[in-house]
Amino acid sequence: IPSLKREMRNLSEECNLEPVTVSMAYVYFEKLVLQGKLNKQNRKLCAGACVLLAAKISSDLRKHEVKHLIDKLEERFRFNRRDLIGFEFTVLVALELALYLPENQVLPHYRRLTQQS
């Protein structure tokens, strides 16, 4: 899990996503872990879907920026974009559509990320 989170952070930095976006992706990912939804086969798809959902909800990305992010996710995590887009809905359902997070869940990750930079 730590190595996946590191990959999520590195990819987000390459795509110029804000630290708050990465923090949200971490929270989504951790919620999936706590629910027992992660396994060896889907962990990279989970991580990718969390980054994609966080970017869509917290950034005002244009169509070409979303495409660029999906390209980077596909390249970094080595999965098919069709699988990612299908899995995005699965993650959304697992999170019970609760993409807007309370500040107290996001802030610890945000602080850690900004102190590391």
Greatest distance between any 2 Cα atoms in the chain: 35
Does 116 reside within a domain? no
For residue 54, tell me if it sits in a domain.
yes
With a cut of 90, say whether residue 40 has pLDDT above it: no
Tokens of 101: 């997070």
- Residue 45 placed within a domain: yes
Structural domain harbouring 90: 1-109
Task: Report the distance separating Cα 61 and Cα 102, nearest Å.
Answer: 22
Per the structure, the count of domains in the chain is 1
Q: Is 115 part of any domain?
A: no
Residues 41-83 pLDDT 10s: 888 889 889 989 998 888 777 778 888 888 888 888 888 888 8
Which CATH number does the domain housing residue 41 bear? 1.10.472.10
Task: List pLDDT tens digits, range 1-34.
Answer: 788 888 888 888 888 888 888 999 999 999 999 9
What is the 3-state secondary structure of the chain?
CHHHHHHHHHHHHHCCCCHHHHHHHHHHHHHHHHCCCCCCCCHHHHHHHHHHHHHHHHCCCCHHHHHHHHHHHHHHHCCCHHHHHHHHHHHHHHCCCCCCCCHHHHHHHHHHHHHHC
Domain contains 13: yes
pLDDT tens digits, 81-101: 888 888 889 999 998 888 888
The b/e string for 5-23 (b: 16+ C-beta within 10 A; e otherwise) is bebbbebbeebebebbbbb
Q: Does a structural domain hold residue 49? A: yes
Q: Is residue 9 part of a domain?
A: yes
Q: Kindly state whether residue 114 falls inside one of the protein's structural domains.
A: no
pTM of the predicted protein model: 0.88
pLDDT value, residue 41:
85
Distance (Å, whole) CA 53 – CA 100: 11
